[in-house]
Amino acid sequence: MAAASLLCHVIARSAPAGRSRRCLLHSDPHTAHPLLVAFSRLCAHGPLRDALALLPDLAAAGLTADPVAVSRLIKLCVRHGTPSDGRLIHRHVFGGGDVAAPSCSSLFVSNSLVSLYAKFGLLDDALRLFDGMPHKNVVSWTTVVAALANARGRKEDALRLFVAMLRDGVAPNMYTFSSILGACSTPRVLAAMHGSIVKDSRRAGMVSGR
C-alpha cells in the first residue's frame, strides 16, 4: 500500500464518529501531525508492515516519533517481525548510527532496542548499543546481564557485566539478582562472582580488609 493511501486509510479508521478524514487532514496546526497520528495507531494496533512503511515518510518530513509509539513498535516487531525489521527501526530511531544523534532521544527507547536485540539472540548488537549509550539505568544493565546469563557460553560474560554494574554504582534489583544467580550454575562461577564482588567492595571501602 502506497504511503499516501496508507495514511488516509489509517486516519479514516482512527477518526472519531462525525469527523471526516478531510477534517483530520486539515486540523489545527497545534494538534499532532496526521503522519504521527497514523504512525502511533499502527504501532499500537499493527499491522507491523504498515507501521514500518511510514518510517521513511516520518524521516522525510522531519518528524520525531513519540518514544511511547516507538517502544510499542519495537514490541510489535519482537512479536511479529524479524531481526532485519529491528535493525530498520534502529536506523530510523538513531538516524543511521548506533547511538549518535538520536531522532527519538529516550533511554526508554534505547532500553527497548537493547531488549529487542537480546530477544532475537543478537547479543553482539545488544552489547554494541548498550556500550554506546551515554546514560544507563538498572533496566539497561539488567537486560544485558539477563541476556548473557541465558545464552550458551556467555555466563562468565554475564558475571563480568554484573560486576561492572556494581562498579558503576548501579544498584541491582530482584530481576538482576535472579538472572545472575541463574548464571552461577557451577561452584567455579559462583566463587568468581563472590571474589569479584568482595574485591570491588573493598576498593570502595564497603567491607573490612581483614
Task: Give percent of the chain with pLDDT exceeding 70.
Answer: 68
Please check whether residue 37 is in contact with residue 11, taking contact to mean a CB–CB distance below 8 angstroms: yes
Using CA atoms, how far apart are residues 87 and 96, in angstroms rounded to an integer?
10
Task: Give percent of the chain with pLDDT exceeding 90.
Answer: 48
DSSP of 91-139: HHHTTTSSSSS-SS--HHHHHHHHHHHHHTT-HHHHHHHHHH-S---HH
pLDDT band for position 196 (50/70/90)?
low
- pLDDT at 13 exceeding the cut of 50: no
26-65 tens-digit pLDDT: 333 345 789 999 999 999 999 999 999 999 999 888 888 8
What is the model's pLDDT at position 25? 29
- pLDDT at 24 exceeding the cut of 50: no
- pLDDT at 105 exceeding the cut of 60: no
pLDDT band for position 188 (50/70/90)?
low
124-179 tens-digit pLDDT: 999 999 999 989 999 999 999 999 999 988 988 998 999 999 999 999 999 999 88
List of residues 6+ apart from 2 with CB closer than 8 A = none
